[in-house]
Amino acid sequence: MTDNSQTNKPTLLIVDDTPENLTVLGQLLQPYYRIKVANSGPRALVIAQTNPKPDLILLDVMMPDMDGYTVLIRLTENPDTADIPVMFVTALENTEDEAHGLDLGAVDYIAKPIRPAIVLSRIRGQLELKAARDLMRNQNAWLENEVACRIMQVKHMRDITIRALASIAETRDNETGNHILRTQAYVALLCEQLVKSGYHLDELSPEKIELITKAAPLHDMGKVGIPDHILLKPGKLTNDEFTIMKTHPTLGSNAIWRAIQHEQDQSDLDFLHVAIEIAHYHHEKWDGSGYPEGLSGTNIPLSARLMALADVFDALMNKRVYKPAFSFDHAIAIIEADKEKHFDPSIVDAFLARQDDFKAIADQYIDHPL
């Protein structure tokens, strides 16, 4: 039958190589605490890790084989016992010995022969301090968990909002939400392969990859500003119509910028700054023949160069108002032919290295006729 009076008591570990000392301390403390004993340093290290772990250790200094100082060092080095407070109870009364013990991390230093009232008072004080530290640590852990949960909720709502905004543009273009999922997955895959191949490591930290991937769905936000008779035209655009169509990158980037430009704290809006890059520059070409700025090479932000290939590959693989869907092999041939023309050569290499994974993503999020 379980003794609840013992279960609810703090646990003390008494460490001393002299049986008489163990008996004296044990008899003094037994009425108030659950007592464990060890007659050597090595034994103390084992018991300290055994449940229920001690709430406080009373440790002798002068012991054979392993003295108390060494035991304390081993306890503090072990994550399982590092938080257990240690009080030295020893016959050493030298001030230097006391200072050495405290420097090593002991919380108190009591000289033998013990005075019961003082020992009980100091033990009670140390246990109260430990209880306060444990409570604070638990509260901090709870708060950290709550903050992490709230951050995850905010990020989740951000992602949903981004996809909702992107879907508005895609719906106007007779696209499905699968285009967003596919291009986002393509961009993530390209980032992964570039890092694996050792390319653009200074620009593709895990944090930056997450920003690029999360911002990717907003690449065609500007299409909401293109008239339907141009956006949905089932054929080749005239020069004037194409001139208007080419304004959608600027329309998109300006819309995002207007939404955030007056925010005092821009630190939490990094992904929207990346979204501006992607929206504005994803139709630029490696050779400088793209729009809206006619940038070339690495003057084009990496995020936009990634989006360019992902977006074109998806357009090739799927039906558009102006073209049928191409075969996978045909799409690969077009991408490869445009290496160093439309696309960053390192990104094309990453694409070719992971073409089977691109095919798997295209199959997973295939568009189904309504």
Q: What is the pLDDT of residue 140?
A: 83
What pLDDT sits at residue 315? Answer: 92
**pLDDT at 350 (0 to 100):** 98
Q: Which residues contact 7 (CB under 8 A, 6 or more apart)?
A: 34
* 153 Cβ contact list (under 8 Å, min separation 6): none
What is the distance, to the nearest Å, from the Cα of residue 56 to the centroid of all Cα atoms in its chain? 35
105 conformational bin, left if phi > 0, alpha if psi -120 to 50, beta if neither: left
Q: Which tens digits make up the pLDDT trace of 32-76?
A: 999 999 999 999 999 999 999 999 999 999 898 899 999 999 999
Report the chain's terminal Cα–Cα distance, integer Å: 69
The identity of residue 356, as a single letter, is D
CA nearest neighbour of 226 among 205, 208, 250:
250
Say what the alpha-carbon torsion angle 189, 192, 198, 203 is, to the nearest 10 degrees. 100
CA 93, 98, 101, 105 dihedral sign is positive
pLDDT of residue 228: 87
- The pLDDT value recorded for residue 167 is 63
- pLDDT at position 93, please? 67
Domains of the chain: 4-140 (3.40.50.2300), 173-364 (1.10.3210.10)
- Residue ranges for the chain with pLDDT beneath 50: 1-2
Residue 208 confidence (pLDDT): 95
- pLDDT value, residue 356: 96
- What pLDDT sits at residue 113? 85
Instruction: Return the pLDDT at 168.
Output: 64
Q: CA-CA distance, 148 to 135, in Å (whole number)?
A: 20
Distance in angstroms (rounded) separating the CA atoms of residues 341 and 308: 12
At 7 the pLDDT is: 64
**Residue 1, pLDDT score:** 46
pLDDT at 221: 87
Answer whether 0.85 is exceeded by the pTM. Answer: no
